[in-house]
Structure 1
């Protein structure tokens, strides 16, 4: 089978690429008898996708084919933050973002038996109870704001629940992880953060530069998140976060999701053991109530890795030409962890964490309950 890297993978899957902690577990609701690697029945991917990387697509809108839905259900996934709208490239960022939201809304209506749109933490619990997949609408670039912070209200009313301030380069809100100046938030960025707080939308600092992340965490009146990242103390690459960033986000009640990406190992060839090592470091820095997963990938896996390798070099070249690549991505580095993919990825991670000595309660927190607590703080129950 010929494999082409679609726009979803190109732009997002290659993201090269204490209020919450005080909420009692009982408020999260009783769990049904398991279909999940988590005893609570809740697995939340803080940044991922529903799509089939074996099929051509030029859209970030989810692909809800029978295989994709079957794989998602088999994985035990409860909810996933899916990237919509503008990330990079030509076209009007505002228009592209509105179009993606409308198209995804239509898919949710068409597949109401399998998916639901998430507005509050209660919707994540409802997805678990109804054995559906909750779709959390999110952005990975603030470019659709233009110069008008009140557009936050527009997108919040359309159901966008996660707003990542920057991608890898700088934008009008602040500097991304690959911006050499590392200047922090702009005045407009601070204005947008305030609007996001007022509209109860998550402020996501994945891809941000260190100063942007630290400043946003300090000025935000609500806890903030880093939905998909690694730990720079373990692997020193710009897409990974320093202990200072991780610690501040946690101290202010936020959430940190560890990705399944090449940046977890200096060679670029990350393995499942690297995912566990970064989770373990994040838990040691942030505490077990603030760490989860944001895989930055799909549940459905690529079938033909050889064909995939044949096209990867071209896609990396295009990312570099577009100015959106990050240090650590190369033609020989997969934007996923080879031995932690497919419908068993969450179950395999749970087993590896258990072998590391993690208790079932801690594993449940990492797989989904920590994100749910954080969501309840920001969005409401």
Structure 2
């Protein structure tokens, strides 16, 4: 048996379109909170994305952290991505429905899903959810690592859970049929949001805390609850899948396997939390990494497990062959082609049908 990625829908539930080797992107990353306008979506970025076989990517836009006015910055970021897509109509298309993912596959374009990694731009006005939905946003992660008005992130010390405003925001997201993403959230916030949501929810990029006990990873209780309500769990290609921080592709596979055991094979996928284009000079990047980690820690944005000696990606699961390599490793583990197809994209597509409609 051999899986042919050309035949599959591959969805990265949280990723990047960027060439991190370009000077502008490297400088933006060093500045801690890069904006969409600083991304380098050049010919290599597009060529690598096509070569990887990816069908659609949930890209982060809007306010996540930093000294930006959240609402205004988010509107600017949406406009920036609209312009990026408009400039490359043969290569990119915006995804608003599950049918759009299928159309991206049929037309050979890369589907771009607009997603937030922090709902701070809503501020205390849940009615803004409808505005963001009208502008094409389809995924809203409630919190980043810190607390916000909606709830606590994974690094917030209180683990307060969902606030009354947070409940209103979840209700507004349900009304607009937007995905409620619980990545980065604290455990109580995750559990409470999953319970109060009238629609299935997701954890688009995470690991399993049963394997590595770090706040950014989700407990079996969280994973099981999300899956039991028809939701989706994406496993990331991040250092948090190994207790040492030096994660390998086999670690990612182990977390996928655990999530499948807990959630069932119909609810697990991938959310790499990284770019497709690989960093070319790892030695030079390693020299800059300590400063980046220190800045994130000083800003209160870092998560336990982020260290100066660990890359924020899995070294042997990156570049244009990352999805093929993952499929190969899953196949070697004994997974059938049907199960691999689900993990690489079909499960996300079915979840999108449930939330967005076809």
Normalised-by-shorter TM-score class: over 0.9
Name the CA distance, whole Å, in 1 between partners of 2:160 and 2:349.
32
1:150 is the counterpart of 2:127: yes
Name the residue aligned to 1:51: 18
1:345 is the counterpart of 2:322: yes
Aligned positions of 1:204-353 closer than 5 A: 204-353=181-330
Task: Render the CA deviation track for 1:290-313: whole Å, top value 9, x for unaligned.
Answer: 000000000000000000001000
Say which of 141, 148, 165 aligns to 1:171. 148
Shift of 1:218: 0.2
Task: Render the CA deviation track for 1:351-370: whole Å, top value 9, x for unaligned.
Answer: 00000000000000000000
Aligned positions of 1:8-23 closer than 5 A: none
Aligned residues of 1:39 and 1:360 also touching (Cα < 8 A): no
Shift of 1:40: 4.1
1:197 is the counterpart of 2:186: no
Question: 347-356 or 62-71: which moved more?
Answer: 62-71
1:78 is the counterpart of 2:45: no
Aligned residues of 1:85 and 1:98 also touching (Cα < 8 A): yes
Aligned residues of 2:6 and 2:53 also touching (Cα < 8 A): no
Aligned positions of 1:124-163 closer than 5 A: 124-163=101-140
Name the residue aligned to 1:8: none
Task: Render the CA deviation track for 1:99-158: whole Å, top value 9, x for unaligned.
Answer: 010011011111000000000000000000001000000000111011100000110000
Task: Render the CA deviation track for 1:166-208: whole Å, top value 9, x for unaligned.
Answer: 0001100000000111110000000000000000000000000
1:104 is the counterpart of 2:81: yes
Unaligned runs of 5+ in 1: 1-33
2:93 alignment partner, SS class:
strand
Name the CA distance, whole Å, in 2 between partners of 1:74 and 1:209.
36
Name the CA distance, whole Å, in 2 between partners of 1:217 and 1:311.
38
Shift of 1:64: 2.2
1:46 alignment partner, SS class:
strand
Give me the CA root mean square deviation.
1.1
Name the CA distance, whole Å, in 1 between partners of 2:62 and 2:316.
30
Shift of 1:37: 4.6
2:273 alignment partner, SS class:
coil
Aligned residues of 2:11 and 2:57 also touching (Cα < 8 A): yes
Task: Render the CA deviation track for 1:259-284: whole Å, top value 9, x for unaligned.
Answer: 00000000000000000000000000
Aligned residues of 1:205 and 1:224 also touching (Cα < 8 A): yes
TM-score normalized by the length of structure 2: 0.95
1:365 is the counterpart of 2:342: yes
Aligned residues of 2:159 and 2:188 also touching (Cα < 8 A): yes
Aligned residues of 2:161 and 2:192 also touching (Cα < 8 A): yes
Name the residue aligned to 1:113: 90
TM-score normalized by the length of structure 1: 0.90
2:317 alignment partner, SS class:
coil
